[in-house]
């Protein structure tokens, strides 16, 4: 019996506390809920063109699959994936060259022999040439007969032929030496582009076949943003037009590029045509290959438009709405959204006037005519002291994307 009595008293106590709290929170109670805190932005009017926005991906400006021109065993591979490389300077891999060095020594010895033989043949040619000239002079003076002259001519021709053969041998040895030197140079595989090594396909001790892959190098001092454009919009895209590009990985920055390519073949599944926008990268290559990109392109004639931030737009069952701040309260305005211009949305003429202030934060649970407080006023001074930023728990809601 006593237990029932205690339980009954406990329930009554909780109920009384709940009713007291409701009374304090009610309009007639001792304390009212404070107005919600909001942030504002200004309605602007400016000259804009129709805008086309698409999503794309960053591609390297150039990509090179580096292969070996000769076969051999890898002696060194000093560069790691992600390392910067310089065209014609950075060594990606070096092959064993001992057999080539030996062959080069042999051929140089052969060249010395061939040059000595050539020197001997040229001396014989000069000697027989003098004999031939002397025989001609004596034959003209009728001192020598015809048969003696003919022997001198034949001897001179033989010497000439031997000299040509010796010179050809020297040239052949020189060509073999040049070939070995060329192979020696190909045994050192250098970066063909200035950029970064993104894939390493060899390691020390590995055998590389002729044409075997050594690595992949990309150039990103410039980049290409590749994006698909629908068949209904591709007619607006022109090669040479400028485009603005933003990256989710680089917030707060916008890059201006140029449309350099429109691929005239659609993807048969999506019915989209690829386009490429060329951008200059930053000095520290902040734009990376594979990044997600948002491409904005303008077309058509410029017109004056009233714009509000996208964060100010709420999607209601009856359409789009925005809250205008007036005399400490808010007024709801419904409208049909126009063009999207970067982070703004066009509002039909007459709905809003430039210079008006609209709510961009804290607008999810507002109602028409509700009183509000501006973020950073009153609450910040009371709780955190002058100049301290106001903080609040964000309320989730659906905004215009």
In a domain, 381, yes or no: no
Q: Given this model, what pLDDT does residue 7 score?
A: 54
In a domain, 346, yes or no: no
Q: Given this model, what pLDDT does residue 272 score?
A: 95
Label the pairing between strands 195-200 and 91-95. Answer: unpaired
For residues 31 and 88, what is the distance between their CA atoms, to the nearest angstrom?
A: 78
Give SS3 for 288.
coil
Instruction: Give the Å distances, CA to CA, from 198 to 79, 148, 258, 290, 297.
Output: 10, 78, 26, 12, 31
- 151: part of which helix (H) or strand (E)? helix 146-186
In a domain, 256, yes or no: yes
Same domain? 179 vs 295: no
Q: Which of 136, 170, 186 is the last residue of a domain?
A: 186
Q: Given this model, what pLDDT does residue 222 score?
A: 96
Task: Give the chain's count of helices (H) and strands (E).
Answer: 4, 20
Same domain? 181 vs 132: yes
Q: Given this model, what pLDDT does residue 187 score?
A: 93
In contact, 347 and 335? CB cutoff 8 Å: yes
Same domain? 296 vs 220: yes
Q: Which candidate, 124, 152, 154, places its Cα nearest to that of 144?
A: 152
Same domain? 152 vs 90: no
In a domain, 235, yes or no: yes
Q: Given this model, what pLDDT does residue 140 score?
A: 86
For residues 282 and 222, what is the distance between their CA atoms, to the nearest angstrom?
A: 9
Same domain? 236 vs 267: yes
Average pLDDT of each block of 10 consecutive residues along the chain (401 residues)? 53 52 47 84 89 93 95 94 95 93 92 93 91 86 84 89 93 94 93 96 94 96 96 92 94 94 93 96 95 90 89 88 93 89 86 93 90 75 43 41 40
Radius of gyration of the chain from its Cα atoms, rounded to whole angstroms: 43
Q: Which of 170, 186, 202 is the last residue of a domain?
A: 186
Residue 227's domain comprises 51-62+216-302
For residues 367 and 207, what is the distance between their CA atoms, to the nearest angstrom?
A: 74
For residues 334 and 316, what is the distance between their CA atoms, to the nearest angstrom?
A: 9
Give SS3 for 205.
coil
Q: Given this model, what pLDDT does residue 138 score?
A: 86
Same domain? 167 vs 220: no
Label the pairing between strands 37-42 and 373-374. Answer: parallel
Assigned token pair, 153: 């001519």
CATH number, domain of 222, equals 2.40.30.170
Q: Which candidate, 138, 170, 166, 169, places its Cα nearest to that of 151?
A: 138
Same domain? 90 vs 117: no
Q: Which candidate, 237, 382, 344, 347, places its Cα nearest to that of 373?
A: 382
At residue 359, φ and ψ (nearest 5 deg) are: -85, 130
In a domain, 340, yes or no: no
Same domain? 89 vs 205: yes
At residue 353, φ and ψ (nearest 5 deg) are: -115, 145
In a domain, 201, yes or no: yes
Going by C-beta distance under 8 Å and a sequence separation of 6 or more, which residues neighbour residue 154?
none
For residues 356 and 330, what is the distance between their CA atoms, to the nearest angstrom?
A: 12
Same domain? 88 vs 153: no
In contact, 48 and 302? CB cutoff 8 Å: yes
pTM of the full structure: 0.62
Same domain? 91 vs 191: yes
Same domain? 137 vs 240: no
Q: Which of 250, 268, 302 is the last residue of a domain?
A: 302
Tally the domains of the chain.
Answer: 3
In a domain, 204, yes or no: yes
Same domain? 78 vs 113: no
For residues 340 and 328, what is the distance between their CA atoms, to the nearest angstrom?
A: 29
Give SS3 for 5.
helix
Label the pairing between strands 207-208 and 373-374. Answer: unpaired
Length of the chain: 401
In a domain, 250, yes or no: yes
Q: Given this model, what pLDDT does residue 299 score?
A: 81
In contact, 220 and 60? CB cutoff 8 Å: yes
């Amino acid at each position: 019996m006593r237990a029932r009595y205690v339980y009954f008293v406990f329930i009554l106590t909780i109920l009384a506390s709940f009713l007291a709290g409701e009374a304090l929170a009610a309009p007639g109670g001792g304390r009212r809920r404070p107005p919600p805190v909001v942030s504002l932005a200004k309605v602007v009017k400016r000259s804009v063109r129709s805008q086309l926005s698409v999503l794309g991906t960053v591609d390297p400006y150039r990509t090179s699959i580096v292969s070996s021109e000769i076969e051999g065993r890898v002696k060194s591979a000093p560069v790691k994936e992600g390392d910067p490389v310089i065209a014609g300077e950075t060594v990606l891999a070096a092959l064993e060259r001992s057999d080539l060095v030996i062959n080069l020594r042999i051929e140089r010895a052969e060249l010395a022999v061939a040059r000595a033989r050539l020197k001997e043949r040229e001396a014989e040619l000069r000697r027989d040439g003098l004999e031939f000239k002397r025989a001609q002079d004596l034959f003209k003076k009728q001192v020598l007969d015809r048969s003696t002259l003919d022997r001198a001519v034949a001897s001179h021709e033989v010497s000439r032929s031997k000299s040509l053969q010796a010179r050809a041998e020297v040239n052949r040895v020189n060509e073999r030496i040049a070939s070995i030197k060329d192979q020696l140079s190909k045994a050192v595989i250098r970066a063909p582009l200035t950029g970064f090594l993104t894939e390493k396909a060899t390691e020390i001790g590995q055998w590389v076949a002729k044409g075997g892959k050594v690595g992949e190098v990309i150039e990103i001092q410039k980049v290409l943003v590749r994006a698909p454009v629908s068949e209904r919009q591709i007619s607006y895209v022109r090669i040479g037009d400028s485009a603005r590009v933003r990256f989710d990985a680089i917030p707060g920055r916008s890059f201006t590029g140029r449309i350099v390519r429109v691929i005239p073949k659609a993807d048969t599944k999506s019915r989209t045509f690829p386009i490429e926008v060329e951008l200059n990268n930053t000095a520290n290559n902040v734009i990376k290959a594979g990044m997600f990109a948002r491409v904005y392109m303008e077309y058509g004639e410029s017109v004056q438009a009233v714009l509000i931030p996208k964060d100010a737009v709420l999607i209601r069952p009856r359409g789009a709405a925005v809250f205008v701040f007036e005399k400490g309260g808010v007024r709801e305005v419904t409208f049909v959204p126009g063009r999207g211009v970067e982070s703004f949305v066009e509002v039909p003429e007459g709905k809003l006037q430039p210079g008006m202030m609209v709510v961009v934060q804290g607008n999810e649970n507002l109602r028409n005519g509700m009183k509000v407080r501006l973020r950073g006023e009153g609450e910040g001074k009371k709780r955190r002291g002058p100049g301290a930023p106001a903080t609040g728990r964000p309320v989730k809601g659906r905004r215009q994307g």
